[in-house]
Amino acid sequence: MRIAILATGWAGFNDAACRLLAARGVELLVVHEGNVQDTAYASHGVASYATEHLWSGEPADGEISRAVAAFRPDAVLMHSWHFTPYREAVKALPAGTLRVLWMDNVWRNVPKQWLGRAAAPVWVRPLFDCVMVPSDRTEFFARRLGFGEADVIRGSLSADTTVFGSDVRDGSEIASHRRFLACLRLVHHKGADVLAEAYRLYRDACTTEPWTLQVAGLGEMASAFEGIEGVEMLGFRQPSEVADLMRSSSALVVPSRIDPYGVVVHEGAVSGLPIISTYLVGAVPSFVQDGQNGWVVRSDDAAALTTAMARTSALDADRLGEMSAVSRSLGSRTSSAGWARNLHEQVEWRLADLRRNR
């Protein structure tokens, strides 16, 4: 089987899952943009398990179509549906090629999405046989674009569980670190400024020794944390380093204004961390249960985030240990290996049906 992936970015969790997919005997073409802003990933080594086609700026006319045609895939997975060079490549596929839309956006009831819904019968559905989604929230959107129940491949994203994860964590160990961790691009939609204000308020309100805050990430809003006592700015960290940080922290904070999915939530769960997250993070319903392993608060509300942080740092070791166990349990619902197995099987089944019904 040969699968081409037309990606808009490439992160460590993508690499881990596709490496395991290749280990199942699937031949891969990975097409993606290099040098994504506000990241500094070490080389993923895609070329060691797949054919890799990198582009930057804007691909040359016909560049992507030629790369895909030369690979002769049985199936193509395409991130989003807007990027013209990718659309052209999918349109040029011969009959009998499975065309999969890989989306993670969630329905927010905004005018742009209503426009997309109106255009979907001519702009989206004719181009794809099925859709792959990471969460129920994204499936809700996909169904409004015209995809039916049987057209959905569920579970399209997973943390890199070859790197992230933890053995059972004792509550006393978690409590001993007295540290919040945030791993994010320091930009507006990720809520970097909201986190900075929330932590400042938390420090001001604490009547006991406050927990510290480690921030891992790059971006234009790094200056929002300047002068706030207790903050340690770590810059960009590679996935293995982030995994180590999670195993030595007390709670994960995810302050996004909007995040279609947020793999970091799954990473925190498999690492056994209590999790504080804003509502508009797509992974939250799968991995955070209020009062059981953390709390979900309103997005773009520093005061609400402050309250949840204060509530978490006041917990005793037994409660933190209970939350850690729930996080690990919820995190186990998917994995890199499970992603690879499910995608392999889904493409096999759907490709057979497609070719049988030609």
**pLDDT, tens only, 114-165:** 999 999 999 999 999 999 999 999 999 999 999 999 999 999 999 999 999 9
Residue type, 275: I
> For the chain, which domains are there?
2-158+335-356 (3.40.50.2000), 171-331 (3.40.50.2000)
Average pLDDT over residues 273-288: 98
Percent of the chain whose pLDDT exceeds 70: 97
For residue 93, count other CB atoms closer than 10 A to its CB: 19
pLDDT one-digit tens code per residue, 15-54: 999 999 999 999 999 999 886 665 666 667 899 999 999 9
Query: Looking at residue 316, what is its pLDDT?
Result: 98
Please state at what angle helix 84-91 crosses helix 63-71, rounded to 10 degrees.
40
- pTM equals 0.94
User: CB of 308 within 8 A of CB of 216?
Assistant: no
User: CB of 156 within 8 A of CB of 133?
Assistant: yes
Query: Looking at residue 56, what is its pLDDT?
Result: 86
Query: Looking at residue 43, what is its pLDDT?
Result: 64
Q: Compute the distance between CA of residue 323 and CA of residue 52 in angstroms, rounded to an integer.
A: 41
Query: Looking at residue 42, what is its pLDDT?
Result: 67
End-to-end CA distance of the chain: 19
pLDDT one-digit tens code per residue, 85-121: 999 999 999 999 999 999 999 999 899 999 999 999 9
Residue type, 327: S
Q: Nearest Cα to 169, choosing from 232, 234, 251?
A: 251
Query: Looking at residue 30, what is its pLDDT?
Result: 97
Q: Mean pLDDT for the chain? A: 95
Q: Compute the distance between CA of residue 204 and CA of residue 53 in angstroms, rounded to an integer.
A: 51
User: CB of 242 within 8 A of CB of 169?
Assistant: no
Q: Compute the distance between CA of residue 197 and CA of residue 94 in angstroms, rounded to an integer.
A: 53
User: CB of 99 within 8 A of CB of 73?
Assistant: no
Confidence of residue 358 (pLDDT cuts 50, 70, 90): confident
Query: Looking at residue 45, what is its pLDDT?
Result: 86
Q: Compute the distance between CA of residue 165 and CA of residue 332 in angstroms, rounded to an integer.
A: 9
Residue 298 DSSP label: -
Q: For residue 61, what are the CA distances in angstroms to 64, 99, 205, 284?
A: 8, 21, 57, 40
pLDDT one-digit tens code per residue, 51-72: 999 998 889 999 999 999 999 9
pLDDT one-digit tens code per residue, 182-241: 999 999 999 999 999 999 999 999 888 999 999 999 999 999 999 999 999 999 999 999
Average pLDDT over residues 264-289: 98
Q: Compute the distance between CA of residue 217 and CA of residue 112 in angstroms, rounded to an integer.
A: 30
